[in-house]
Structures are given as C-alpha cells and as structure tokens.
Amino acid sequence: MTDTRTPSRRTVLAAAGGLAATPLLAGGFSLYAARAGARSAVELDLSAHALAGARRNFLLNGGDAAVAGCAHETVQADSFEWLALSRCEFDVVLLDPPSLARREAEREGAVKAYARLATLGLARLRPGGMLVAASCSAHVSAAEFFEAVRSAAQQSQRGFREWRTTAHPVDHPATFAEAKYLKCIYLRVG
Ligand SMILES: C[S@@+](CC[C@H](N)C(=O)[O-])C[C@H]1O[C@@H](n2cnc3c(N)ncnc32)[C@H](O)[C@@H]1O
C-alpha cells in the first residue's frame, strides 16, 4: 500500500526504533520497524498472498543489516480470532484492517469493529507499548474512528497517553471531505 507510506509508516519506524520493539504488524509497516531496529516482527493477515508479499519484501531488503537481523514471522489467521486467543505480548501492535464500511449502512458496525479490534490489540501490549490503529474506511470519519479507539483504551483501564494522529501523506492529498479516508492514531499504554 503506498497511501499509508507517509506519514504513518515513518511514524511507526520512529516509534519502533524508540522501543526496540517486538511488533505485531501488518504489511509494509513491519519492514519499516525492522529497519528501525525491531528484533522481531509478527505479521498477521487472512491472505496467504499478502503474507507471501511481506516475506518477499523482507528477502529483498536483506542487504540491510537491521532487516536481516529481525526475526520475521508470518501468521495466516483472522485478526479478531487470533488476537482473542493469543497470549503473546508485543511492544507495538499495529492494526491496519481493510475498509470495514464499504457503504454508509455499515458505518455503525464498522465503528464497533474498530473498537473491538483496538480492545483486542491493547490486551496484547506490554506495559509502555504502543497501539497504532489505522482506518481506511471513507464512511467512518476521523473523529468517529479516533473516539472508538480512545474509548477502547479508556475501558481497558490501563492508562494511556495519546502520542499523535496522522492522516494523508503529502503526495496522496485529499482535497475535499469525502476523500479523507486515511487516519491513524498512536496510543502509548501504561
Ligand atoms: C489495509 S490492508 C493492510 C496493508 C498493510 N498494512 C501494508 O502495509 O501493506 C488490510 C489487510 O487486511 C487483511 N485482512 C482482511 N480481513 C482480515 C481479517 N479478518 N483478519 C486478518 N487480516 C485481514 C487483508 O488481506 C489485507 O492484506
């Protein structure tokens, strides 16, 4: 995905580097984390094709010592099911699902699904870890999405600090409200 290239991926790189992280990440984000010094990364996706592409990207970047030194694992699973069953812990959990609302009628269900995913992701974070939650649903506004993730964090009762939110990169601009589908929020948890 090129649309999340900046600022979100670069922001993950900065976060992961600061944490020397063991992230649970998706797609291109894990490569950025590896380049920032992550010792290991687990990528979870429903699609075997997507995971094969992720493994290939790591191989292609193997000339980078940091990438070569990162233990990269791929898991083919449903993220809701895997996160609910897993007892693994991570320094960074990045949630980057596909659009969960392809039409307006799906907006309410999508907001609940984002909150559920955030709750599951927060439960897998080590103390001091970072939740990175992204949305590409045009029918869910940034305000609705951020509120869903913040509410999940509040209900987790772990204590958290919002680090930042990001939107479209400069080379993928949105010039009218309906075009603003990308949003991402970063929470550091206690
Ligand atoms: C927005 S893309 C992620 C892009 C990725 N972050 C990257 O940088 O390349 C969403 C991904 O979620 C996967 N997906 C869809 N439904 C899923 C589910 N229920 N559980 C796990 N992965 C799912 C899709 O196969 C797709 O690869």
d(CA 103, CA 22): 35
Residue 151 zone, left/alpha/beta (φ > 0; ψ -120 to 50; rest): alpha
Fold of the domain spanning 2-189: Rossmann fold (3.40.50)
Amino acid 163 reads W
Amino acid 123 reads A
Q: Nearest CA to 158 among 120, 134, 123?
A: 123
Q: Nearest CA to 41 among 15, 67, 5, 64?
A: 67
**Which residues have CB under 6 Å of ligand 1?**
1, 26-29, 44-47, 50, 78-79, 96-98, 136
CA of 99 relative to ligand 1 center, distance in Å = 9
**What's the pLDDT score for residue 38?**
86
- Atom from ligand 1 closest to the CA of residue 45: 22
Single pTM value for the model: 0.90
Q: Nearest CA to 131 among 84, 188, 87?
A: 188
Q: Nearest CA to 137 among 178, 81, 78, 92?
A: 178
Phi, psi of 51 (to 5 degrees): -70, -35
**What's the pLDDT score for residue 4?**
52
Question: Would you kindly state where each structural domain of the chain is located, as residue ranges?
Answer: 2-189
**What's the pLDDT score for residue 1?**
40
**What's the pLDDT score for residue 134?**
93
Q: What is the DSSP-derived secondary structure letter of residue 50?
A: H
E strand or H helix that includes residue 184: strand 183-189
Out of 96, 172, 184, mutate this one to test ligand 1's pocket (max ligand atoms within 8 Å of CB): namely 96
**What's the pLDDT score for residue 21?**
45
Question: Residues 6 or more apart from 65 whose CB is under 8 A from it?
Answer: none
**What's the pLDDT score for residue 9?**
67
Low-confidence ranges of the chain (pLDDT < 70): 1-27
**What's the pLDDT score for residue 67?**
93
**What's the pLDDT score for residue 172?**
83
Out of 9, 43, 46, 56, mutate this one to test ligand 1's pocket (max ligand atoms within 8 Å of CB): namely 46
CA of 45 relative to ligand 1 center, distance in Å = 5
**What's the pLDDT score for residue 58?**
93
How far, in Å, are 8, 112, 143 from residue 180 at the CA level? 15, 20, 12
Within 10 angstroms of residue 37's Cβ, the number of other Cβ atoms is: 16
